[in-house]
Amino acid sequence: MFGDNAYATFRGNANEVFEQVGDRQNVPDVYEEATLSFNFQGASQTGLNAGDFVGAYNEENGDDYRSSNWNNISGSLAGTYGNDDREVVNMDNLDATGEKSADETRVRASGVSVSYGGIESHRNTSTDNRINLQAYNLGLWNAQYDKNAKLMNSGLMTTAPNAQCENKLDVQMDGLAQYFTSYRVVVYLDIPDSHSAADNSVRKVSLYTNDSEDPIKTFYVKDNAGHNFHGSYERSTAETAASAMEANYVVFEVPADAIADRIRVVIEEADPNAQNGKNLPGIAAIQVRGTLHKQDVAATTDIDFGGNDTIRTDLGDDIVVGGTGSDDITTFGDERYGIHDNDVVFGDNAKILLTDRDSDESTASTISTAESVAITNIDAIYDDLIKTGNGNDTVVGGVGADTINAEATAAADTMLDDINVLSINFTREHSDSTDAIAQGEAAGVVVDTDWHNFYRNDRGVIVSESVRGQESSPEYNNKMNSLSNNPTASNPYAVEEGVEVQLYGKNHGQRQTVASFTIENYDELDGDTSNSKLFNTYLAAQQSEEIVLKLKNMNSFVSNSNNTVSSTYDLYIYLGGDNNDTDTYNYLYQVKFTGHNGVSQYRYLNDWTGHKFDGDYKEATCSSQTEAERMLQMALNDSAHDSAAPRLELVGNYVVFRGVSGDVADIRIRNIYTSSGQHPKNLPMISAVQVVSGDGRYAGETDLGGDHDKDLVYGDDAKLVFDMDVPYDADVADVSKFKNRVIEAKSVAIEHDAVTSISTNDTITTGRDRDVAVGGEGADTITMGEGDDIALGGSANLVLEHNNPLGVFTPNTEIALDQHTIDTTQHQNYLDNDNANVWQFQSRLDQNLIQGIDTSVSNENDRKDTIDVGEGRNLTSQGSDSTAQLVVPKPVIVDDDGQEGSGEASTPTPPVVAPDDGTVVIDQEGTSTLVEIAAGETVEIVITDWDEGNQYYHPNVFLQLNCSDNTRHKLSVTWDGQQTDPTVYLQNYAEFDIPDVATVVGEHKIVLRITSRDSISLMATVAHR
């Protein structure tokens, strides 16, 4: 939605804009092709630089795959690159003009990852050795200065001797569908002489897509000992081993009708019977050159003009551009549904690029870039009021003194209609505000503000927090003594809303008291949000035990709910542990529910090391152990349709049993180890449980909870880059189902003439959850609420994941090929970790050492800001401590006839001042006095209160206009023949120096005469300068 004039293209016709729009500053950059390039750095100490323009160039074959912005993959073992927020994958847009720098053509491809490893039949363990690789270096003499030689000089190869063990090298690339409609895959290889036979050293290179068992194409490359890269790229097109030619790269074509989100390249010895210990598979680099999806553009036009717009949108992910003028923009509807209300708002003018991510005309295109358009009319008003409400919103205020409120209102926590919820959080006995959910705090998938905290007491019995104060009573102590030996006995101290909670363990069928449970702390969470508190403390049984949770008197709870459709309820079970209590992808949690008539249902969930709660609830839906184990084995075995990560059905932090019944809800949680060997670290655990009943379950969506108010706000101009948050191994058709979010944001400098003519003093309020605010130019006021927030007073460039800058919070790592034994000790500490030192992080921010925050941009036009970050572990930065005046009132330049003009051949002359049309007396310093002036009239202002004779006192007059016509007004002020011509406008003021002594002889008076060409009313104040 645009508030003022704008244009837009549709159905992927972005290039039409270049023919029809004259003002190119309003047209975003549009590219048709891009290249993903990965250099396997191998044994080389350094990789390629972003500006190195290298790749296959072969005129004979018509190949030109040269590209900048290569991604360097270091290390000598198997692994995955891009599955961790810290591993930023960049793509290089193909610049047809050849005029743009590598930085200008670089774009982040956050959805792409590359997995690589060995496949050898004799390796049957579930350790990293099964997929091990080794690094190599050719020792090319010119690799230090020839960048193409540097690319080909090193790489990875397998460790087993050729085909004796069905030796293969496997490289998978995932996440291509949201970027390309078709592509070519370029594979580079040049194996060391010591691992190549002197004759007939042939490698077979095959390309598979998605789950295909047959390759779409196979090429053969001869790479005998002594054949090394000599400066020329040689392409093999041979499709048989007998016809193999000496070469160092191959190219696969993947047309639009065969497009896949995931590709798999397999390199192996061409002769499966060779027994010479040579011809190891290896790889130096891989590229994907693709045709980008169709794109459209939309942007404001005629930006010198615009009105004061009032814009209201409702629920949904809205894009709003206010344009020129002082706009009033509100972009939220029913705030209970903030999960579906992630808005992008520009207060002023903007140019937007949209991409058809799934090439489906029935689904909407999504925003891929959005950038402020520099203003050209410095006489217009740009003071916007923007309110976005609940949701992960992104706001760019633009120039002007904007008021931006991105916080959720109290309505966001209102319960859904016609549902009844019992919410239980398992925590520790002496809990605090980081792991106990207080009354009134909203948390849970089904949002509830009435949570009950349960804990294991010193007798090893589970009790409700509501019993505090009764611990010294004889009745309580007698009951605890009884329950400590019989956990299945009735416990009146574990009852809430009529439902009794029993929790104990079983070990090989033998009942264990809850005393055997441990109270665990989630080291990677700090409980800065209500939903984070839910996971921050959990109860864990021993590895071989089974957790038994029984909820009794459920029929009574259901009867008290509004159930006219059915007498059933839904059970939500939350579980998720920190990295110390979890293993990797060959471990499963089984959650079993048994209710009415003893019928059981199952859910299976994988919570690997590196997987953490990051504010989003994810339901694991797999209900079959056979299917769950099959999904895991797809990440472990060697078949051509492998995945390198658990399927989405296993990924989550809660499970649901819907429409169940029974007066006793029997829930069991245990760990399943799917392979042989050591016992798992995965401890059976439980964080919380919710029971949901009532007819409202059928009226609409109920699973709406999470940290959905993580806002990103730029007070002034900015450029944003977006990407779809598509998880590993999603199908092409599913791309449109996932969230589009900001992955990069940059401050855009405002022209000096604009920033010194128009106030950029913004007022920014964000509210709860983790927010990021970048004030930009001017003296801003930033207020943030609960949650670990980042407030940057000046300008900044950000690299983000889930609206948070990289390097600040613990990344959520997708399990993949290298992650069987994740070493979390080698990585830096994060702000949300229990042992994090906020001051150390603040020091790193001050030194510009945080990966995702770059404050080393110009803050020439920033002024000292007022920042209140609220509760939580927060980081702040002042772009500038300067308090110098930024906005400079401009004098009116007049021609000889007294009219405004260029002033080139004239001298300024004061306007004719008419006799006084009224007198206003300001008799108290610091007090504002109303002054009304009709068009063309002159009003005399008499100042009688100032400290005359004090050499340190210099009175000034401040004029504050009180109107809303979006017009800048010119005034003439005279005294004793002196004149000044301030310009004052809406929500701003003009300050000018006046005489320091009386202007009336013998009287304590300063008399000013103010003439206005327009009818205005203003507030006048005298104060010390």
Q: Can you give the pLDDT at residue 80? A: 83
Q: Can you give the pLDDT at residue 734? A: 65
- Residue 227 tokens read as 């054949």
Residue ranges of alpha helices (H) inside 747-885 are 752-755, 838-846
User: Which amino acid appears at position 281 of this protein?
Assistant: P
Looking at the DSSP bridge assignments, the partners of residue 875 are: 790
Intervals of the chain under pLDDT 50? 124-128, 635-644, 676-678, 818-823, 825-827, 891-916, 963, 983-987
Rg of the chain, C-alpha, whole Å: 34
Question: In angstroms, rounded to a whole number, what is the distance separating the alpha carbons of residues 663 and 666?
Answer: 10
Question: In angstroms, rounded to a whole number, what is the distance separating the alpha carbons of residues 471 and 476?
Answer: 6
Q: Can you give the pLDDT at residue 498? A: 94
How far from each other are the two terminal CA atoms of the chain, in whole angstroms?
A: 44
Neighbours of 980 (CB within 10 A): 18
pLDDT in tens, 964-1005: 555 666 777 777 656 555 544 434 556 666 777 777 777 878
pLDDT in tens, 584-607: 656 788 999 999 888 899 999 888
The torsion angles phi and psi of 181, rounded to 5 degrees, stand at -100, -25
| Residue 845 falls in which region: left (phi positive, over 0), alpha (psi -120 to 50) or beta | alpha
The closest alpha carbon to 372, from 626, 704, 26, 613, belongs to 26
Residue with tokens 């926590």: 413
The torsion angles phi and psi of 264, rounded to 5 degrees, stand at -140, 120
Q: Can you give the pLDDT at residue 585? A: 56
The single-letter DSSP state of residue 135 is E
Tell me the pTM: 0.81
* CA distances to 46, 78, 797, 815 from 75, in Å: 11, 8, 29, 18
Question: In angstroms, rounded to a whole number, what is the distance separating the alpha carbons of residues 628 and 960?
Answer: 69
Neighbours of 370 (CB within 10 A): 26
Contact 875, 845 (CB under 8 A): yes
The single-letter DSSP state of residue 737 is G
Q: Does CATH number 2.60.40 belong to domain 919-1024?
A: no
Contact 118, 170 (CB under 8 A): yes
- Residue 247 tokens read as 């070469």
* CA distances to 566, 616, 895 from 970, in Å: 72, 53, 16
Q: Can you give the pLDDT at residue 473? A: 92
Question: In angstroms, rounded to a whole number, what is the distance separating the alpha carbons of residues 53 and 64?
Answer: 11
Question: In angstroms, rounded to a whole number, what is the distance separating the alpha carbons of residues 642 and 636?
Answer: 8
Contact 762, 715 (CB under 8 A): yes
The torsion angles phi and psi of 129, rounded to 5 degrees, stand at -60, -25
How is the chain split into domains, by residue range? 6-11+301-412+706-877, 27-294, 420-693, 919-1024
Question: In angstroms, rounded to a whole number, what is the distance separating the alpha carbons of residues 838 and 850?
Answer: 13
Question: In angstroms, rounded to a whole number, what is the distance separating the alpha carbons of residues 473 and 741?
Answer: 55
The 3-class SS string of 708-728 reads CCCCEEECCCEEEEEEECCCC
Q: Is residue 298 helix, strand or coil?
A: strand
